[in-house]
Every structure is written in structure tokens, then in C-alpha cells.
Amino acid sequence: MPAPDTRAPFAALGGTVPPELAALPTPCYLLDEGALARNGRILGALAQRTGCKVLLAQKAFSNYDLYPVLAPYLAGTEASGLYEARLGAEEMPGGEVHVFCAAYRADEMEELLRWADHIVFNSPAQLAAFGPAARAAGKSVGLRINPECSTQEGHAIYDPCAPGSRLGTTRAQWHAAVAADPGLAGLLDGLHFHTLCEQDADALAVTLDAVAEKFGDLLPKMQWLNMGGGHHITRPGYDLATLERCIARAQRDWGVTVYLEPGEACALNAGYLLTRVLDVVQNGDTTVAILDASAACHMPDVIEMPYRPPLLYAADAGEKPCTVRLAGPTCLAGDVIGDYSFDAPPRPGDLLVFGDMAIYTTCKNNTFNGMPLPAIWARDAAGACRCLRSFGYGDFKTRLGSPR
Ligand SMILES: Cc1ncc(COP(=O)(O)O)c(C=O)c1O
């Protein structure tokens, strides 16, 4: 079973299913432009108040049809490699394009340098290999540092500071690299760290102390400091004042331009997955509703994180009269979304609406078991829904072999 988590209950759509949703095909993702704009306004106001620059980390949300909703509030996009860099350049024109990849390929570098404005290297060896060409192309060059400061417990898969991590250069690694090649330091315009995951600003403050202690001597020579993602800025109750103090500290102490590159915070609570109940089975005391959406295929982070997504009209197991396990139709025994309770038992044909489904979903889903990919719809602030993309058998087949 997915671990229980403390995520806030469903709190969107005014707490009801708007009538237009009942007409949509299931399963489908529905992206909420009004909620995206709300996130954008929070991020834009932060940038205005502090002078920091906020980028969209596309690995979390890359539904480019809706980039124009966020673009007025953001400085640009962050990419994990060539394709996302190109997507950001094409679909948020005029915005900065920043790239970080744990290791770049030599055969992609020339094209990458066409799209990217900032290129961040993970290791001194990659900096030495590609930094001179990046600078010659007029790009701003950075190094991802590892401040060796874990602020997440029991979450090693999301902790770039975990022992043995490949992500970021430790101070000891940098020291050894510069001793061997003193010219490396002169290649750098900025430093980057990304160590947080769904965290509040107290964790950033602790991390910034570690950054200051380990890399404080390098920072006055830098033009910028990128504080990565993982800042849950748009979550209700997030401590904006502490975040602003961290930004001000970096600006004051080191004279750097501060970048933040949140993914989740840009599209938090800004999408839904609509699904219908196909069957209900009883095994001993356990009632299981099998849905036309799959955790494994359509909401993979439910299994990977793991977490239990918010569900409209449902409560935690045991809180309402009927507790039901919701599961997907694939062969995977663990294709389970979670245990929820309802006022009445779900029946075949019932519509269920999962919340917070804009992030790490459409960009991560898959067709395991030949599961169809859910269509992607958008809902504007007035409630009008439009289909952005639907998928069929051809989308499943053509990823698997030669064209027929
Ligand atoms: C380098 C980097 N930047 C930004 C992000 C976005 O993080 P989040 O979506 O948690 O804000 C990630 C996520 O893994 C990342 O690896």
C-alpha cells in the first residue's frame, strides 16, 4: 500500500464537480487555467518584491499550451536536457532557458548551446569538457554544488545530498579539481544547488547556511546563485517571509542575482485526473474499486513517491461510512491509488476526480499493459473545457517498433 501521507484534502473546483466535467471522456487530465494563473501571480509577486527570477522547471509540468498562462509571471524555463531546453525556447519565447543535466552528451552540446542561455554542469570534469565552448558561445556557465546538507528524512530517492549522491559537486571534489586545474574557477558565472523536495522555507534557510559555510568564498565572484526547485511556494501556509529573507541574504552577502526554478509550485493543485469506476470487488473485509485510470501508468508518482492524491468527496480511510481501496486495471498487484472513505460505496460508472494532477503526470505517464494514455484537456477560468490532445492505439504502437 502507498504510505499514508498528510497531504491536504481536495480543495479545488469549489469542492464540487462542475457539470461540464461529467461530459468529458475518462480517463482524462484536466488542466485548470485559473489555478495556474493563481500560482503564477504568487510567484510573480515574489519576484517583484525581491528582485529574484523564477523559472518553470519543465520536468514537473511541460504542457506547453498553457505556458502563456504562466509566462507573464516568470523569467523563463528550466530544462533537464536538450528536448526540454528546445521546448522552453519554442514555447516560452523571450524567456531565459536554463539547463541542468547530470551529464551532457558531446553529440548534443552544439544544439543545446543554440537553445540554452544558462548551462549548469554537475561535475568539474563536465565543466572542463564543455565550459570553454559554452562560454565561447556567449552562454552563462554554472556548476551545481552539493552542500551536503540533507533536510529530508526517510526520502533518500529525493535527496541529492544523500551519502554517495551523484548530484552536485562537493567542496572536497571542487578543491581537488581546482588544485589539478586552476583555470576551472575562471569558467564560472554562477552556482546552482537543488536539495529540496516539497519543502518549506525553513529547510532552505538551513541549506543556505551550509552553502555559505562550504562555498561562501566562491560566491562573491559569481553573478548568480540558482537555488533550484522543491520550494512549495504556492502551498497554502508556505513561509514566504523566510524565503524572502533567504533571497535578500544571498543578494546582500554575495551580490548575486537569485534564481528559483520550482516545478511543483508552478502547477500545484492546477489539474485533475477524471476517472470512472469499472468494477467493484470484495475480498474479505476489503472493498476494491477498479478504475479506468492506473496509478502505475497515469499517476506514477503515487507509487514512486509514494503518496495518496486528494480525491473530491472522499476522506481518509475510516472517516466516512464506506472505506474503499481504489486501484487501476493493470496486471500490477501494487497498482493501487490508496484507501479512501465515502458516504456511499462507489458504483460502476461513477465519476471520480483526483486533485493535484498537473504535476509529474502527463510528463511521466506510460502505456504499460497497453493502457491508453488519458486525453489532456484544459479548463479556462470561466469553466469552458477544450481538448488539447487525445491519444489512440497508434500512440501506443509507434513507440514500440518499426512503422507499419
Ligand atoms: C535541478 C532541478 N531543478 C528543479 C526541480 C523542480 O523541483 P520541484 O518540482 O520539486 O519544484 C528539480 C526536480 O527534481 C530538479 O532536479
Size (the chain), residues = 404
pLDDT of 12: 67
The per-residue pLDDT for range 264-312, each reduced to its tens digit, is 999 999 999 999 999 999 999 999 999 999 999 999 999 999 999 999 9
The per-residue pLDDT for range 350-360, each reduced to its tens digit, is 999 999 999 99
Tell how far the Cα of 176 is from the centroid of ligand 1, in angstroms: 28
Average pLDDT over residues 113-125: 98
CB 43 within 8 Å of CB 259: no
SS (H, E, C) the chain: CCCCCCCCCCCCHHHCCCHHHHHCCCCEEEEEHHHHHHHHHHHHHHHHHHCCEEEEECCCCCCHHHHHHHHHHCCEEEECCHHHHHHHHHHCCCCEEEEECCCCCHHHHHHHHHHCCEEEECCHHHHHHHHHHHHHCCCEEEEEECCCCCCCCCCHHHCCCCCCCCCCECHHHHHHHHHHCHHHHHHCCEEECCCCCCECHHHHHHHHHHHHHHHCCCHHHCCEEECCCCECCCCCCCCHHHHHHHHHHHHHHHCCEEEECCCHHHHCCCEEEEEEEEEEEEECCEEEEEECCCHHHHCCHHHHCCCCCCECCCEECCCCCEEEEEECCCCCCCCEEEEEEECCCCCCCCEEEECCCCCCCCCCCCCHHHCCCCEEEEECCCCCEEEEECCCHHHHHCCCCCCC
Asked if residue 342 has pLDDT above 70, the reply is yes
pLDDT of 129: 98
- Which atom in ligand 1 lies closest to the alpha carbon of residue 100? 1
pLDDT of 1: 37
CB 194 within 8 Å of CB 122: no
Distance CA 36, CA 39 (A): 5
The per-residue pLDDT for range 16-29, each reduced to its tens digit, is 788 889 999 999 99
Handedness of CA 66, 259, 127, 134 (dihedral sign): positive
pLDDT band at 190 (very low <50, low <70, confident <90, very high): very high
Asked if residue 10 has pLDDT above 90, the reply is no
pLDDT of 245: 98
Asked if residue 4 has pLDDT above 60, the reply is no
- Which atom in ligand 1 lies closest to the alpha carbon of residue 231? 11
Asked if residue 377 has pLDDT above 80, the reply is yes
Distance CA 60, CA 62 (A): 7
Identify the weakest region by mean pLDDT among 42-51, 60-69, 150-159: 150-159
Does the model's pTM come out above 0.85?
yes
- Which atom in ligand 1 lies closest to the alpha carbon of residue 158? 14
Average pLDDT over residues 383-389: 97
CB 63 within 8 Å of CB 388: yes
Tell how far the Cα of 197 is from the centroid of ligand 1, in angstroms: 8
The per-residue pLDDT for range 245-273, each reduced to its tens digit, is 999 999 999 999 999 999 999 999 999 99
Tell how far the Cα of 36 is from the centroid of ligand 1, in angstroms: 18
Residue 228 φ/ψ region, left for φ over 0, alpha for ψ in the -120 to 50 degree band, beta for the rest: left
pLDDT band at 367 (very low <50, low <70, confident <90, very high): very high
pLDDT band at 153 (very low <50, low <70, confident <90, very high): confident
Which mutation among 62, 101, 261 tests ligand 1's pocket best, with the greatest number of atoms within 8 A of CB? 261
- Specify the residue for cell string 497498482: 335
Ordered domains of the chain (ranges, CATH):
8-31+270-398 (2.40.37.10), 51-267 (3.20.20.10)
Average pLDDT over residues 37-45: 98
- Specify the residue for cell string 504510505: 3
Looking at every residue in the chain, the average pLDDT score rounds to 95
Q: Which position has the higher pLDDT, 316 or 8?
A: 316
pLDDT of 292: 98
Percent of the chain residues topping a pLDDT of 70? 97
Asked if residue 3 has pLDDT above 90, the reply is no
